[in-house]
Chain A
Amino acid sequence: MKSYKLIIATFILTLLFIAYFAYESSRFNDEAKAYSKVKESAYRLEIAFSKNHLLMNSINSSSNNDEISASIALVERMTREHLELLGQVDDTYLRTLADSITQKSAVLALLYEDLKSDNAQLQNSIMWLSKSYKDYLFMLKEGKLDEKTMSYIFDIVNARETKELIRIHHIKPNEKLQDAQVLDLHLGLIQTLHELINEHYAKLLVNDITPELKSAIDYSSKKIELIKSEFTRIILLLLISITFLVIFSILLYSRELATKNALKAAQNSLQQFVDALNESAIVSKSDPTGRITFVNKKFCEISGYSQNELIGHSHNIIRHPDMPKELFKEMWDTIKSGKHFKATIQNMTKEGSSYYVDSLILPLFDVNGEIVEYMAVRYDVTELILSRDRALKAEKAKDEFFSKMSHELRTPLNAINGFSSILKRELKEEKQQRYLQYILDSSKHLIELINDILDLSKLNSGNFKLDIHKVDLYHDMESLLHRFEGNLESSKITFHKELESSIEVTLYADWLRISQIITNIISNAIKFTPQNGDIFFRASYENAHLKFSIKDSGIGMSPDVLERVFKPFEQADSSTTRRYGGTGLGLSIVSNLVGQMNATMNVTSKEGEGTLFEFSIPLQAQKAKPKGHRAIERSDSDKLFGHILVAEDNKTNQLLVKLLLEEFGLTCTIAKDGQEALEIYPKENFDAVLMDENMPRMNGIEAFKEIRRLYGDKTPVIALTANVMKGDRERFLEVGMSGFIPKPIDEQELYKTLQSLLGKH
């Protein structure tokens, strides 16, 4: 804008220059014309003047005064005109000349007339002498006239021009002569007149205006030359100005053209963007009040509305009733403040079906920064949203399937495991014992496999959450390691345990998962360490990290095996499974759990030499609480005492639980569902309740809630269920149950739980 103004200013300035030069040139032209007129008139006047003087100088007896008068009149007229011209030119020098010419001309005018008059008189007298010449000759003969006078008369009469009389010396005639007085008068007059005429001629020369005319001519010529050169200069400047203007115009034009082209190119590339946008996105624009001012084809296609139906309306036309009002309020607040708003919005087509769009709504500003309209760019994500919903549904279905499957698998396994254990104790024959051990091992392996698969599926599904509880680290570590003692003994492996005093702390952790890691690694170590080998376990708590390491003198792993073993179902090789058993899921679960706990794991291994696992788990200590070393041991003689209410709908499980409880030294009453449990509970004095979850008529939780509601919180209730999916444990504990025993029932775990609840005996 500023440069445009500058351009116009320059243009006008140049035009002014041109106008000025044109004016100057015309002025010079006028001036030059005036001078050349002066020059020309001076020339003509000079010629007329010279002719007139020639005429004046040759004035004689035969002169025609008409001719002379005409010549004088001509000169006077031309002089007058010349003086007028001189007056017209504003020039001091020419005015001086004019003054001089005026003065001289006044004198000359009188001189001319005097010359004419005096010449006429002179001629008259000369004529008289001529006419009387004969008489004087007679007089001379008669001696009346002296010769001197006669020769004088002769000279006068024969003078061709008045000027010639100058040389003639005047004499006085003889007084005796007849009419001597007349002759004397004439001769005297001739003498006087020719002197006068000579004076006139002298004055004529003095008052000659030729020098003034010549000066006027020279001066005018010089002036004209000067003006011509000035004129040439002006014309040159004019040409330069015009050239400048032309060049300027061309530059301006080409600049304009370049700008236009650049603009066109910019428009083209912008158009390409717009086209691309229109091809890919759903675009609409609205005025500041939200009324639609523009929709692209995609908008019409997806919404099912035509352009005419949309323009002028609010975007509410495509609003889906499910969308919360608050979202739109937030959107308006955001875009009105000049910011972008991004959201996935469910919209409704004309037919009423919904579609989802990822929307970007942005305000468009004018040059003053005022919002003039809003633009919405949307991408159709309906497919994405629907497939996500489908995936979520499938995930849920899978979880439900797993939950059901594990429940369905655990119940029969519970029976197999339980009865095998009982049988093993009753049957003393070695062969039977061995077979039963196989059954026990196989079912145990099957349970582990199910647990691992469930764990892995939980971990992979992303729904996994750590279950943080208060942990007495030293005590729990001791009891955990105690479990392996049997295996270690049977494998003839020396277990080197080193628990530093720093782990004698109480802290919050998901001990179940930590013990899972330890169990997995130690189980592997036992599995892959040959007889008479060593396993080293070391644990410490430092810098808010639980650190432990497990080192074995086992077969070890090569680096490429090391890479694979953390993947599900991978072992060193497929033969490993056959040789050592195991699900091949252990390390994969460990690696996942380490990740979940933000812990670090370090594995160093050398083939044939053994493997070292090092873990560091960040855990916050509650406070240091020294504890005495307390070994937990159980033997067949550690009997429990108490009367237990068992609510269990499955007949096999009723029998299994009854057998296990009796083995522990406990007595029990069986209720076949929640309703029955509720009826039996007040009739007998129970020390604890084992409550199955899934039962007909009334489920475990409901029964528990009723018992608590009707009889107060005095008897511990333990959940006994195959619902071991994520969150189940929490669900039971939340409602106030005292413990949780997953199915299939781990004999040890049941014992431990009951022992802790029933107290010492």
Chain B
Amino acid sequence: MKLLLILIPLMLFALERITPIPTDVVYDAQKAALGKALFFDPILSVDNTISCATCHNLPGSGADGLSFSFGVNGAEGSINAPSVLNSSLNFVQFWNGRAKSLAEQALGPIVNPIEMANRLDNVEKTLKSSAYKARFEAIYPDGVTIANLADALAEFEKALLTPNSRFDRYLRGEEDALNAQEIRGYETFKSIGCISCHNGVNIGGNMYQKFGIFKEYKQKKESLGRYEITKRERDRYVFKVPSLRNVALTPPYFHDGRVNTLAEAIFEMQEHQLGIVPKKEFTEDIEAFLNTLTGETPAIVRD
């Protein structure tokens, strides 16, 4: 009988292709604290104007609400900034997946000429002549290094999980955590095929997919997606499937930030990706469902 009680929830989870965000996250508090300080400090940019947090608002959506972010001297980026929330749950980083890890990703924007526009040796020099030197040395035997900088930032980002969304509570068995429309939206999400790509703990972020399977997608700004990395023809316009966690907080949507509302995004997805005739009730129900995916602000940025 006991065995049955244990087995039933397990089977339920097993059947679900979406899993809740773990409520506990293990990270090195000291490193994460250093990472947090660096995250908010414009010291990493070449002119001391841009910090990570400039484009990744915290506490908040972990993104900037713009289609394209602005870098140093008002330079405009070419791709929509994704949220840093739950980014540790993604299988790769960046839209085209060019970073395998958070640490790898963390250095990207620093040297991007239209983002922080800095040089790594310069960053190291700057940090060594700053108050961070002592903090690094307190944690890392080799003090300030680029690898340690990336490590600290990644450790901070590991802490940026948003558990206990209403949907996660529903998944954990709180049936009244969602209302009828939201449940219907989830069912539709699954039945019309969204779940094919948006699955797993991050509801996305675990595969690449072509944007525009059934209908060509007109981009606001041309991005070749994964092609830029692999140079394979079949990877043209292939992007990392984005996570739908906290999706309600992160407009505008898509890699080019072309649509501003969830409804528009859901609509476009149906026609471009699912190959179905978009339906209003589908859109409304799915929007209601997606709104239940907003989790708690991570403890590390709450104060």
Contacts and interface: CB of A to CB of B under 8 A. Distances in A.
Interface of A: 61-66, 68-69, 72-73, 110, 113-114, 116-117, 120-121, 123-125, 127-128, 131, 179, 182, 185-186, 189
Contacts of A68: 206
B208 interface: yes
A127 B200 contact: no
B158 to A, nearest CB: 15
Instruction: Give the residue among A61, A124, A127, A131 with the most B Cβ atoms within 10 A.
Output: A124
B276 A182 contact: yes
Instruction: Give the residue among A63, A72, A127 with the most B Cβ atoms within 10 A.
Output: A127
A117 B238 contact: yes
Given A64-B19, A110-B230, 13 more contacts: A64-B199, A65-B199, A66-B200, A72-B91, A116-B206, A120-B197, A120-B209, A124-B274, A127-B192, A131-B191, A179-B277, A182-B275, A182-B277
Nearest to B229: A110
Nearest to A62: B17
B193 interface: yes
B232 interface: yes
A185 B276 CA distance: 10
Nearest to B209: A117
A186 B273 CA distance: 11
A64 B17 contact: yes
Interface string B182-214: 000000000111001101111000111110011
B196 A124 contact: yes
24 contacts: A62-B15, A64-B17, A64-B19, A65-B206, A66-B19, A66-B201, A69-B206, A72-B91, A114-B234, A116-B206, A120-B197, A120-B207, A120-B209, A121-B196, A123-B193, A124-B197, A124-B273, A127-B192, A127-B196, A128-B193, A128-B274, A128-B276, A131-B191, A189-B213
B134 to A, nearest CB: 34
B207 A117 contact: yes
Instruction: Give the 3 A-B CB pairs with smallest separation, nearest first.
Output: A66-B200, A124-B193, A65-B206
A400 to B, nearest CB: 123
Instruction: Give the residue among A63, A64, A73 with the most B Cβ atoms within 10 A.
Output: A64
B207 A113 contact: yes
Given A113-B207, A114-B234, A117-B207, A123 B196 contact: yes
B274 A113 contact: no
Contacts of B15: 62
Interface in B264-292: 273-277
B164 to A, nearest CB: 19
A117 B275 contact: no
Given A64-B199, A117-B207, A117-B209, A125 B277 contact: no
Contacts of A113: 207-208
A125 B275 contact: yes
Contacts of A125: 193, 275
Given A62-B17, A110-B232, A185-B214, A124 B275 contact: yes
Nearest to B193: A124
A117 B274 CA distance: 13
A113 B197 CA distance: 12
Nearest to B89: A66
Interface residues of B, number: 29
Contacts of A186: 275
B200 A69 contact: yes
Interface string B213-237: 1100000000000000010101000
A124 to B, nearest CB: 4
Nearest to B90: A69
Contacts of B209: 117, 120-121
Given A64-B200, A65-B206, A124-B197, A131 B192 contact: yes
Contact of B275 (A62, A64, A65, A185): A185
A125 B210 CA distance: 14
B238 A127 contact: no
A121 B213 contact: yes
B198 to A, nearest CB: 9
Contacts of A185: 214, 275
Interface string B1-30: 000000000000001010100000000000
A116 B192 CA distance: 18
Given A117-B209, A120-B209, A124-B273, A65 B200 contact: yes
Nearest to B214: A185
A124 B208 CA distance: 14
A107 to B, nearest CB: 11
A59 B219 CA distance: 32
A644 to B, nearest CB: 150
A65 B204 CA distance: 9
Contacts of B200: 64-66, 69
Contacts of B196: 61, 120-121, 123-124, 127
A121 B274 CA distance: 8
Contacts of B192: 127-128, 131
Instruction: Give the residue among A120, A123, A186 with the most B Cβ atoms within 10 A.
Output: A120
B213 A66 contact: no
A66 B275 CA distance: 24
A684 B19 CA distance: 188
Nearest to A73: B91
A128 B275 contact: yes
A69 B91 contact: yes
Nearest to A77: B100
A61 B15 CA distance: 11
A185 B274 CA distance: 11
Contacts of A64: 17, 19, 199-200
Contacts of A127: 191-193, 196
A730 to B, nearest CB: 126
Contacts of B208: 113, 116-117
A467 to B, nearest CB: 127
A213 to B, nearest CB: 22
Contact of A66 (B191, B206, B238, B276): B206
B261 to A, nearest CB: 23
B97 to A, nearest CB: 8
A117 B197 CA distance: 8
A116 B209 CA distance: 9
Nearest to A80: B100
Contacts of B17: 62-64
B170 to A, nearest CB: 18
Nearest to B190: A127
Interface string B87-131: 000010000000000000000000000000000000000000000
Nearest to B201: A66
Contacts of B202: 66
A189 B275 contact: yes
Contacts of A182: 275-277
Nearest to A112: B207
A124 B196 CA distance: 6
Contacts of B230: 110
A189 B193 CA distance: 14
B188 to A, nearest CB: 10
A718 B109 CA distance: 163
A69 B97 CA distance: 13
A252 B19 CA distance: 80
A136 to B, nearest CB: 14
Contacts of B201: 66
A80 to B, nearest CB: 10
Nearest to A132: B276
Nearest to A66: B200
A729 B177 CA distance: 175
A161 to B, nearest CB: 16
Contacts of B234: 114
Instruction: Give the residue among B15, B193, B238 with the most A Cβ atoms within 10 A.
Output: B193
A52 B274 CA distance: 28
A120 B201 CA distance: 16
A189 B210 CA distance: 13
A333 to B, nearest CB: 88
A232 to B, nearest CB: 41
Nearest to B91: A69
B142 to A, nearest CB: 21
